[in-house]
Structure 1
Amino acid sequence: MFNQTTAYQPQASQMFITPSMSICQSDYPLDWYQPEFIPYAEEYLALPDRKLTTILKWMTPYMQQAFKHFDNQLLLLAHYYMGGDIVRLVEQFQGQIGDSYQLALMAANNPQKSVIIESAVHFMAESISILAQPHQQVFITNPKSGCTMEMMAKDFMVEPAFEDLNARFGAENILPVCYMNTSGRLKAMTGAQGGAVCTSSNVKQIFQWARAQNKKILFIPDQHMGENVAYWLGIKNIAYWPGGSAGAQYSLANQNAATLKQFDEAELILFSSFCAVHTHYQADMCEYWHNQGYVTIVHPECRNEVIRSARFSGSTAFIWDYVTQDTAGTKKYAIGTENHMVENLKQHCQALGISVVNLAEAPVKAGSVGCGCATMSRNDP
């Protein structure tokens, strides 16, 4: 299905298990678990503490039974945004860590693994399933683990945009592009109209392809990433379709002449859902760390003012590789993305002599500590 250029072999993290390392996730009520998981949840909640060494001792017999039962056909996958403790648990049992699209490739490029267990969020499990080999089964550790940006761009919320824009301009003149961080249904809607799915790594290239079609681009979501690509490519005329439930209620028929003119003149129409995690970062945080001699790298889901101020921006995988390889040669990096990812990177780089700080640690905003992905944290041991 995929050639070698799409394969991704992640590095094992250098986050070593220590006796004091504890699980960062809070304990959840039993009714948060699927019925099949409750017996295990009861055992987990009854453990004397949440130290990783305690949990490993409890988990190991179960994992040994699982690997014996599936005869080496089991593959564990986790996203970079999982806490370092979960990352270490997954790696301890021969699992792999990656970005959202990379996780899908890891499964597809390992056809000998027929049972894929994903510890991240729902749209990532869907993407793994879409690209999986026919014989591969994909499971998510917690189906309630979602993505707020994806949940603000459900198919029923976006469908009015497709319908109204197609009616006003003709479906042949609307080219949808959806982000990897969307549901399988939205990806299908996009593909059915000749559009494309992009990642944070290739979004600029996908937009360049889309612009060459001489159509209006409907980008679903992320609003901020769309604004950033417009900035990079010099796209000036932008119109906005509301995100979330407001998008489901929005109609061009109810808009005034000035708003309709914006849509008529727009080269790019943004469906306005976004990642709340990345809105915590500010431009002056970048300036602070620049003055301290740090190279700043942020995710393209950050607001445009932050993108303009940071030295570099890129996907989670780009950030991880750029820093761990000390590409800038400074050994000092300030990172603007999800907190667990930054903390994992910080721990990994300690053994490499590379200093990593969270961009939000800059003393420019009272009480700012960045933000973790709360929904992904619903995956516990």
Structure 2
Amino acid sequence: MTVTSLTLEPRPIDPSVDHGIQAIVAGASSAETCNTDLAAGPWDFDIRAGYGPGASMGDVIPTGAPRQGGLPQEYRDASEDELHARIAAAKAALGERVVILGHFYQREEVVRHADYVGDSFQLAGFAKQHPEAEAIVFCGVHFMAETADLLSQPEQAVILPNLAAGCSMADMADIDEVEDCWEQLAEIYGDMEAVDEEGLVPVVPVTYMNSSAAIKGFVGRHGGIVCTSSNARTVLEWAYARGRRVLFFPDQHLGRNTAKAMGVPLEQMPMWNPHKPLGGSSQVELEDAKVILWHGFCSVHRRFTVDQIDKARAEHPGVRVIVHPECPMAVVDAADEAGSTDYIRKAIAAADEPTTFAVGTEINLVQRLAAQYPQHEIFCLDPVVCPCSTMYRIHPGYLAWVLEELVAGSVVNRVTVPADVADPARVALERMLAARP
């Protein structure tokens, strides 16, 4: 008798977070979501103030934050298959006149139509590579569309399918509050442009890419620079070659984790809370500071905890834990590795042997990686399905709408940065491009 050995192929994984949430709400899945309203269409929340259901639902949205007008009913009523067909038809009709960019954290139903997928900086670069396109449709959030507008040609239209797709972390660094902070620091340090005997200014402002164009413009005007999560260390080294200390915003965790890895003591990293005099620190603390951290954070990455890592290690011996540096310091310290979104993606792609990965970043990317690399076991550290509130505001219904409007000769939801902000913001971005690791 001959026994035939069967090799079982890994069971396909559905990369769609939306399908999983719909199953949870329908009672067909035992998983848990942070808000069952995520199963509804984002248009249900367009007229409400707030970031919408998801990780940022508890964050306070600034007055005057962009709102999305009504989406025509035909797009609300269309099925998933119909929307996909309409998007594909519009793309074919537009040809090279349009480039669609999709962030790693976007829904699978949107990413499948993107010409390029990447992080915010990569996508801005892709936009810059296509001067022939009349329109750039940026499936991400508002600050990303602003950056694409800064780096693209003046005649190109940058379109954000849903104007309500903002970013709560970017909103935590308000330009008026940042200007006030700078004035208070000048009262301590003196002339902010004066160099000392070593040729250093008192403070160099550094902003994370995840900030408004107004903040990037502020940084450009004051001798500062933009950073990404992948080049934050190089940028801080650039800043320390020019200044005694750094004012880092809006994400405290990226700033703290990066500076700590460079050997900066925690006691030399005071927090600046814009709602307190001197940011809540003493003059002595600010004088001794090497990094002044803005009181901002990413609500997605703040959900990850050391307890989640401990649980993953207990249930999956040998698990490889990788987290994003926007996570709190204790989480980064407890993980095996920390790196940018692109670092996480490349680390998993480079694993030769079947590996169990516990990943601390946005669920849409984690789920997509799990589907893309079925030879590995890949899961999100946070067992509760809770996507980025604002990335999730981009729905294929909005993408179909803006594309069909372009086919009809109409540009809707265009994002533009005024020249007085754009010029210094480009300076800060160009400094970042020149500061390579």
Tell me the TM-score range normalised by the shorter chain: 0.7 to 0.9
Contact 1:160 1:250 (8 Å CA) reproduced: no
Report the equivalent of 2:310.
Answer: 287
Residue 213 (structure 1) shift: 2.6
Q: Distance in 2 between matches of 1:55 and 1:281?
A: 34
The 8 Å contact of residues 22 and 85 in structure 1, kept in 2 or not, is answered as no
Q: Distance in 2 between matches of 1:124 and 1:167?
A: 34
Per-residue CA distance 1:33-89 (angstroms, 9 max, x = gap): 855x633xx012223xx4x32432344444444x1xxx522100111111112212x
Deviations 1:331-363 (A, max 9, x none): 32110011112112212222xx122111123xx
Residue 377 of structure 1 corresponds to which residue in structure 2?
Answer: 392
SS of corresponding position for 1:38: coil
Residue 261 of structure 1 pairs with residue 290 of structure 2: no
Q: Does the 8 A contact of 2:269 with 2:290 survive in 1? A: yes
* One-letter code aligned to 1:38: L
Select 2:166's aligned residue among 119, 128, 146.
Answer: 146
C-alpha distance in 2 between matches for 1:30 and 1:219: 32
Equivalence map 1:179-194=2 (5 Å): 179-194=208-223
Is 1:229 the equivalent of 2:258? yes
Contact 1:122 1:143 in 2 (8 A): yes
Q: Which residue of 2 aligns with 1:9?
A: none
Corresponding position: 1:341 with 2:369: no
Task: State the 1:231 CA deviation.
Answer: 1.5
Are 1:356 and 2:356 matched, yes or no? Answer: no
Match of 2:107 in 1: 83
Q: CA 1:377–1:158 in 2, change beyond 3 Å: closer, same or farther? A: same
Q: CA–CA distance in 2 between the matches of 1:225 and 1:31? A: 30
Matches within 5 A, 1:56-95: 56-65=84-93, 67=94, 71-88=95-112, 90-91=113-114, 95=115
Query: Quick one: distance in 2 between partners of 1:107 and 1:212?
Result: 31
Cα deviation, 1:221-275, whole Å, max 9, x if unaligned, reads: 2111111112201112111111xxxx1x4333x97xx722111211111111111
Higher relative contact order structure (alpha carbons within 8 Å, sequence separation ≥ 6): 2
Cα distance change of structure 1 residues 232 and 347 upon mapping to structure 2, 3 Å threshold:
same
1:304 aligns with 2:319: no
Alignment partners' CA distance in 1, 2:252 and 2:15: 38
Q: Tell me the TM-score normalized by structure 1.
A: 0.81
**CA–CA distance in structure 1, aligned partners of residues 348 and 234 of structure 2:** 23
Query: Match for residue 216 of structure 1?
Result: 245
Task: Give a deviation string over 1:296-333, Cα, whole Å, max 9, x none.
Answer: 11000000001111111111111112112326x45321
Query: Structure 1 residue aligned with 2:44, among 23, 26, 29?
Result: 29
What do residues 66-114 of structure 1 show as CA deviations (whole Å, max 9, x unaligned)?
x1xxx522100111111112212x24xxx21110000100010122223
Q: Counterpart of 2:358 in structure 1: which amino acid?
A: A
Judging changes above 3 Å, is the alpha-carbon distance between structure 1 residues 22 and 373 closer, same or farther for their aligned structure 2 residues?
closer
Per-residue deviation at 1:26?
A: 2.3
Question: Structure 1 residues 38, 371: closer, same or farther in 2, change over 3 A?
Answer: closer
8 A contact 1:25–1:378 mirrored in 2: no
What percent identity do the matched residue pairs reach?
32
2-side partners of 1:26 and 1:240: how far apart? 38
Counterpart of 1:53, as a letter, is D
Q: Which runs of 5+ in 1 are unaligned?
A: 1-13, 362-368
Query: SS of the counterpart of 1:104?
Result: helix
Bigger shift: residues 122-131 or 284-293 = 284-293
2:356 matched to 1:332?
yes
Does residue 109 of the first structure (1) align with residue 129 of the second (2)?
yes
Q: Distance in 2 between matches of 1:25 and 1:126?
A: 29
SS at match of 1:112: coil
Report what 1:277 is aligned to: 300
Q: Which residue of 2 aligns with 1:202?
A: 231
Between the aligned partners of 1:317 and 1:211, the Cα distance in structure 2 is: 26
Alpha-carbon distance in structure 2 between the residues aligned to 1:110 and 1:359: 37
Structure 2, unmatched stretches of 5+, are 1-12, 23-37, 48-66, 194-201, 397-437
Partner residue of 1:319 out of 325, 344, 356: 344
Q: Tell me, in whole angstroms, the C-alpha distance in 1 between the residues paired with 2:341 and 2:104.
A: 8
Counterpart amino acid of residue 376 in structure 2: I
**Structure 1 residue 133, shift from structure 2 partner:** 2.8
Q: Is the 8 A contact 2:21 2:385 kept in 1?
A: no
**Is residue 73 of structure 2 the alignment partner of residue 53 of structure 1?**
no
Structure 1 residue 15: Cα displacement: 7.2
The structural deviation recorded for 1:136 is 2.5
- For 1:55, give the aligned amino acid: L
Q: Secondary structure at the match of 1:276?
A: coil
Aligned residues of 2:15 and 2:368 also touching (Cα < 8 A):
no
Residues 336 and 359 in structure 1, CA contact (< 8 A), matched pair in contact too: yes
Q: 2:282 is paired with a residue of what secondary structure?
A: helix
